[in-house]
Amino acid sequence: MSELTQSKHYDYVPIIDREPFKLPDGARVALMPYINIEHFPAAIAGTSLIPGTAAFSPDPLNYGWRDYGNRVGLWRMMELMDKLGMRGTVCLNSEIIREYPRIIEESLARDWAFIGHGINNAPANFIGNAPDGQGGHTPLPEDKEREIISTVCKTMEEALGKKTKGWLSPFLTHTDNTPRILEENGVEYLCDYTADDHPFKFNTPKNNLISVPYTVEVNDIPCFLGHSGVGISSESFGDMIIDQFDVLYEEGATNARCMPVCLHTFHVGQPNKFKHLKRAFEYIASHDDVLLTTGDDMNDWYREQYM
């Protein structure tokens, strides 16, 4: 019999073979809004609405579109979440601390959680997908990866006053070394594997790294930009969030579920898209037995109850 070729980073445990998952106060669904707050250096190509100008420097079309998120979109989202009693889990490029201190100030005032998300969103800092200079990509060497992770964790701890518990790799790209290096830096949970509705343990040397659910399904970048360049409508994105919740809420009556919703301020912070995010979040918040929580709090709960 040939050897298994599944990921070596975690074990396969189907949901039907587990004891039912429990949430605080008997909640059926844990809603976790992940807010990606990112810095795109002005002279480097980044996420683009119109790829045709992405290589220009300056590129006011795409840079301005992205910058709307940090200038306007985030604050629109914060106001809604404040009204509904929701806290965000910030996927933070560490350069945000230097470039946009007001964002840090206001996020801290709301007791939002912060997880590491690289230095910035320039491709050179994508741990598992760095440009190789020949038009392709190659994983970063371990020493460079270790430097990036250590820099981000130290910068965040100094600015935020506490250790960083979670990590999301930029563009969810990492190497086979990433889980081990994160654990060595005191990180407790990694969101790169969108494989489950429950937290689960990674196979790391200290046995102390877990996955907290994240999603590429209910996530505005793949939904609106699409792999083929053709995305869904703003209304459909709102419907998708509601449909996701309805199924998980029904299932959660006997086996609680986590529901991450992954958002970027320059996408759903735009008024036409925000309208339908608002509709969806208000719908979810109107239900009983819903836990409005963060990745940090879910990490703490899982460790307290299941480790």
- What pLDDT sits at residue 45? 78
CB atoms within 10 A of CB 108: 14
Report, in angstroms and rounded to the nearest whole number, the Rg of the chain calculated over CA atoms.
19
Q: What is the mean pLDDT of residues 57-71?
A: 92
For residue 125, give the DSSP letter. G
Residue type, position 300, single letter: D
Look at residue 1 and tell me if it is in a domain.
Answer: no
Q: How far apart are CA 95 and CA 78, in angstroms?
A: 20
Beta carbons of 88 and 112 less than 8 angstroms apart: yes
Instruction: Give 113's pLDDT tier (boundaries 50, 70, 90).
Output: very high
Beta carbons of 305 and 30 less than 8 angstroms apart: no
Q: Into how many domains does the chain fold?
A: 1
Residue spans of alpha helices (H) in the chain: 60-68, 74-84, 96-99, 101-109, 142-160, 178-184, 220-225, 234-251, 271-285, 295-306
- What pLDDT sits at residue 228? 55
- What pLDDT sits at residue 43? 79
Q: What is the mean pLDDT of residues 232-237?
A: 95
The percent of residues above 90 in pLDDT, for the chain, comes to: 80
* More confident of the two residues 180 and 60: 180
For residue 15, give the DSSP letter. G
Note the pTM of the prediction, 2 decimals.
0.95
The CATH number for 161's domain is 3.20.20.370
Whether the per-residue pLDDT at 138 is higher than 80: the answer is: no
pLDDT tens digits, residue range 78-99?
A: 999 999 999 999 999 999 999 9
Whether the per-residue pLDDT at 122 is higher than 90: the answer is: no
pLDDT tens digits, residue range 17-38?
A: 999 999 999 999 999 999 999 9
* Of the listed ranges 49-53, 75-79, 112-116, 259-263, the one predicted with least confidence: 49-53
For residue 137, give the DSSP letter. E
Look at residue 18 and tell me if it is in a domain.
Answer: no
Closest CA to 170 of 119, 218, 226: 119
Q: How far apart are CA 23 and CA 19, in angstroms?
A: 13
- What pLDDT sits at residue 307? 94
Look at residue 239 and tell me if it is in a domain.
Answer: yes
The percent of residues above 70 in pLDDT, for the chain, comes to: 94
Residue spans of alpha helices (H) in 185-233: 220-225
Look at residue 9 and tell me if it is in a domain.
Answer: no
Look at residue 16 and tell me if it is in a domain.
Answer: no
Look at residue 76 and tell me if it is in a domain.
Answer: yes
Q: What is the mean pLDDT of residues 260-275?
A: 97
Q: Which domain holds residue 179?
A: 25-44+52-306
Q: What is the mean pLDDT of residues 204-231?
A: 90
Which tokens hold the place of 83? 């009204």
Whether the per-residue pLDDT at 112 is higher than 80: the answer is: yes
- What pLDDT sits at residue 300? 98
Look at residue 10 and tell me if it is in a domain.
Answer: no
Whether the per-residue pLDDT at 1 is higher than 60: the answer is: no
Look at residue 280 and tell me if it is in a domain.
Answer: yes
Q: How far apart are CA 239 and CA 12, in angstroms?
A: 31
